[in-house]
Amino acid sequence: MLHSKIIILMLLFVSFTYAEVTKGKQLFNEGSCLECHNHEDFGTKKSKIKMFKQLEARVQACQLAGNDGLFDDEVHDLSKYLNKDFYKLKK
Ligand code: HEC
């Protein structure tokens, strides 16, 4: 019984993360981001971004500059997407 509960919790977590990343990708493609960026801009060796918090702060600053009007949870989702596909930061 305990095992099936753990499996259900894991599935919930995975699908939740998947939803965040999917939403984030959509926000990225619909937002101003590609007006100034290429995908090659993200997660390069030159990047000063070493922590997820820094990535979120950068996305926040950029979406303000680009006038995207994102909410905090949208900034979070977008950062999750960039992290999953490009940065791969642990924390
Ligand atoms: C008006 C132009 C502009 C727009 C629009 C813009 N950015 Fe940026 N972005 C910049 C500039 C300039 C930098 C800084 C480059 C540097 O100093 O390394 C930057 C840096 C970044 C970085 C850090 C890159 C790295 O690893 O060093 C991320 C991540 C980023 N932007 C995400 C976004 C996202 C997501 C959006 C859309 C919501 C966006 N940007 C929209 C201009 C823009």
Structural element, H or E, at residue 10: helix 2-30
Mutate to test the pocket of ligand 1, among 30, 32, 36, 42 (most ligand atoms within 8 A of CB): 36
CB of 37 shorter than 6 A to ligand 1: yes
The percent of residues above 90 in pLDDT, for the chain, comes to 93
- pTM over cut 0.75: yes
CB of 27 shorter than 6 A to ligand 1: no
Q: At 61, phi and psi to the nearest 5?
A: -60, -45
Q: Whose CA is nearest to atom 41 of ligand 1?
A: 33
Chain-centroid distance of CA 81 in Å reads 3
Q: The domain containing residue 17 runs over which residues?
A: 2-87
What pLDDT shows up at residue 4? 94
What pLDDT shows up at residue 49? 96
CB of 82 shorter than 6 A to ligand 1: yes
Q: Tally the domains of the chain.
A: 1
How far is Cα 26 from Cα 75, in angstroms, rounded to an integer? 12
Low-confidence ranges of the chain (pLDDT < 70): none
Angle between helices 52-65 and 72-82 (to 10 degrees): 120
